[in-house]
Amino acid sequence: GTLQIAKYALSKKSRLIYSATSMQLGKKINENLSPYAWSKSKNVELIKNFSKWYDLDYSIAYFFNVYGKKQISSGVMASVIGIFENQFKKKKSLSVVKPGKQKRDFTHIDDVINGTILCAMKGKKKSYYIGSGKAYSVLKVAKKFSNKIKYIAKRPGEKFTGKANLSLAKKELGYRPKKNLLNYIENFKKN
């Protein structure tokens, strides 16, 4: 599908905005963490090559653990925050992958939308990290919801840490995240 979109963007002389995953990012890039990370990595490679070969205009936005209204809360594509919300509503223990110290940058959907629009308007054939710029341990996030925690076994492809370096997005796009995860959780618990 990405190949067809790249061809279409070329034919229309329009900028392609690709939503990539932060899953593979870290101290060293690991595209082989999962089939999902691998396919997203190969799509990024394809887009960058199309730019070299045919002068495709593009921006790549790397998203970090998106949360917010209408997020997926169950199944294999569920987000951490969505799972915790679902478990909290059902008064269940929150399932935390061992050891719970793994850190994540959680980004509100409103900030993702704003970052994507900025990529479309100001992006310059580069990759931009769209996150909050703050990393929280999964255990700390779970405890903000509830003290009832249930540890589950480590899963294959689990990344230990991830935090968005916002310097390029701030400098070139003017991106500034506005939402805070801990405030979001407090508001969720009140409703």
Handedness of CA 165, 180, 99, 69 (dihedral sign): negative
**Residue bearing the bigger pLDDT, 94 or 31:** 94
- What pLDDT is stored for residue 37 in this prediction? 76
Report residue 191's pLDDT band, with 50, 70 and 90 as the boundaries. confident
pLDDT tens digits, 76-129 = 888 899 999 999 999 999 999 998 998 999 999 999 999 999 999 999 999 999
* pTM, full prediction: 0.88
Q: For position 77, what pLDDT does the model report?
A: 83
Rounded-to-integer distance, Cα 126 and Cα 108, Å: 22
User: What is the chain's alpha carbon radius of gyration, rounded to the nearest angstrom?
Assistant: 18
Q: How many CB atoms lie within 10 A of CB 108?
A: 21
**Beta 136-137 vs 103-104: how paired, if at all?**
antiparallel
Can you give the pLDDT at residue 54?
97
Q: Which helix (H) or strand (E) holds 47?
A: helix 35-54
In angstroms, the CA 51 to CA 55 distance is 4
3-state helix vs strand vs coil in the chain, percent to 5:
45, 15, 40
